A and B are shown apart, each in its own frame.
Chain A
């Protein structure tokens, strides 16, 4: 299920809009069973809303802010209804801003504020909050009901290395539950408790490590307030950067450069690679490297691994670069773990080389190196602390900042990105990349990069047509047949993005219905360009996906080298250090293993009864 935003009623035949009504005196036509809100929006009439999110078809009707006054045909008294879930009727007269409607909208927001922690200056959503906007829209001037003790009694969950779930700021819109349940279909979130105690909670778990959450972070993207957010580590980043004894290395992911500029008022999709390099240098980062380089290395390792597996008749092989996907496989489908490529993700590949090869090249003590990675991803924080990636207490990746935290870090340093003069990488290692590495950031990109290299390995010559448009597209599951030539011949590949479709694909692989050689999985709809760690939008879900994707393909088009194996720095790395793809040392450093983390779900009736509220045994 790809949810790249389109409003529900758009594209319908106007002839089907057979219901006539008025909104604020304006004659409107509506589709049968359409909501008042949808009709008002199509006619460009504004109604304040909070819980509703049209892009994901979410109208739980819980906040009750979008109330309007209606007079139904044939009735004498006007009624108050919520416009988000009340359907239009023939002859209905709607007033969205009568005195009564406005008073009730305002009182509703005041009631929402009654147990919402309003320490806005300390909030992760400061200045970018839908609730703050809403207060403005309804003209809130009083805050009579706020009770700090009542509010602070609500829980804050700090158990995840990646995310914070702060119920003191939750408005119970349930968007997070909806995106997790209906779109990602992980269904890790539940609504729990009653009355004032009503919160979003984890299914069958008290903390993240024991839950079925995969840290994809899509819930964060839809949260209207600061209730859900990444665990902020900008302070630790500054600790590293400011420590003169440490050599700080920053890497940033393929997608970050195309999904960052809008935070500083630049047009969506602007490539700000040069500005990011300059900004890093300005805040005192010692070495700036590119995760794109590691993506090229991943293609060398994964491509070689795939060829070996094909020869052995082991199929399919799943990609392994998406950490939320790895979490999903380990927790939800451990039976497929043997089908996962053992190649580490680009983040971990870069960090590993930065603590082995790079110190040799730079002549520094590896123990002084700290790797900070900037990722459009929440799950990368999770990945960095996987036991497989921590050696003698030393992590490969020391710190992961989401795109949002990176923006915060720059602001803390007084940097406005659009004022930065673009710069270029200045270390001749681990910063050059091919166009293949660049497109890792979008769905289908890993597959396309892999095919370019595998074809060359098999045939000893490059593909004639480098851009494999048959692998591109936005359908949730796409499949293609690619002729790799030579002894390998045709292979069947599939690309899936979004965990809802991933679940369907894994099920069909397990049931034997799907027949593929190589499957690329990206947990976030659209791939990393819309990752759970990317910038938030207000009242929209993934609105900039296509622009970002376009820029990423531009980067590829403009790259001097377009295949991973032709990246000169990659060639040097293998020549000087790794010997060959899948060599003994490459295996030791750049490959990993997976662990069955499925949770046994077993409840007793007694436990359940102890948990039930508002229903008793009494007959």
Chain B
């Protein structure tokens, strides 16, 4: 698979004011600190982490919704490499149609005074790339085509957002993101404000659209089960840094970073008999403006030793495609999600884990 997005040494720092109205900048917060990763065409990379880990800032920075402080972002469209980070304002605007975003709250992200047709067509009218030259009729055709793909009907296009439920609004937001036929879609918590029964609709819609249109997703979410469902690879963030990156299976079932281990062990699986031995992290997330020296997780890590305070562990491969930033990654024996449950069941299943018949998964 060819690389679509390549992010190297990306950092985003925000100036931080001292207390009071007249406060002067005093230091900065590293929301994203020296993050590198790539996404292949047609792949979904999940970004998980707790609030304040920098995952939303990372998503915005990839689109230059916030300006990166350092680092490079390159998008390879066809044979051309678009150097996102070095584009000027107008060039960036012209390149916007390659990358679009879906936001968390469809009640806030749709203009209540615009019809659905106008909302979906706005990116076309705003004129990124070749799309700006479409006539009204062609715009209408394009809007209808995308709306139908997203599960909306033609007569709904005349209505206003208030007439739609949360799930349908998110469909409108997805249609708006897809109308320019982007190569990359950044999904920032696209399902977390929806009801359980509707979340499944949107997850499946995103998966179907990806298959049909060859989309590439950067999928940011805190719902670890949803990320496991839709993502090929997963990056775990803690305090602005990627601490682990690998295939979904590697990160979930054989995590190599103590933070990933704690995260995975805490996922509440909807099964009353699932084995439950959550690793309870002690303490609180440190202030991101004043992160601990060395490894940022060391203050809450049960395996931390002297070296963790002294030097920052680099993100390095422990096996093919599985990167971990931990000094002790090679030595630690960590538990994955469903350590006993799925692992034991998979091992016991006839014909090996991956070939196990789907019926056995739904024994209930």
Pairing of A with B = no
A residues near B (Cβ < 8 Å) are: none
Residues of B within 8 A of A (CB): none
